[in-house]
Every structure is written in C-alpha cells, then in structure tokens.
Amino acid sequence: MCDPATLARDIYLFEELGYKLQEAVPVDMFPRTTHVESVVLLTKVHN
C-alpha cells in the first residue's frame, strides 16, 4: 500500500467481509528514502 489511509480503509472493508487483521509489518523497500511499504496478515474468521 502506498497510503496508510488507504490501507486502513481496505482493512476495514475486509473486516466487514469476515477477515481479521493479525499482524502489520513495515518493510523498507526503498533505502535512503522516507517511503515504507506495509505488509499485513489477514485471516478469515470462521463463525
């Protein structure tokens, strides 16, 4: 994701579909810049 607000929006949408955020990790794929990517782990919640 390029924008934390977009990531938050998308996570909310997935939670509405029955997924749960388990973990979020920042990844520095662009050294010597201020840009950081995010990797998230979502799992399907079984009812």
Q: CA distances (Å), 27 to each of 10, 37, 41, in order?
A: 18, 5, 13
Q: What is the chain's Cα-based Rg?
A: 13
Which residue out of 1, 2, 22, 27 is catalytically annotated?
A: 2
2 catalytic residue (yes or no): yes
Block residue for tokens 């919640």: 45
Q: Which residues are catalytic?
A: 2
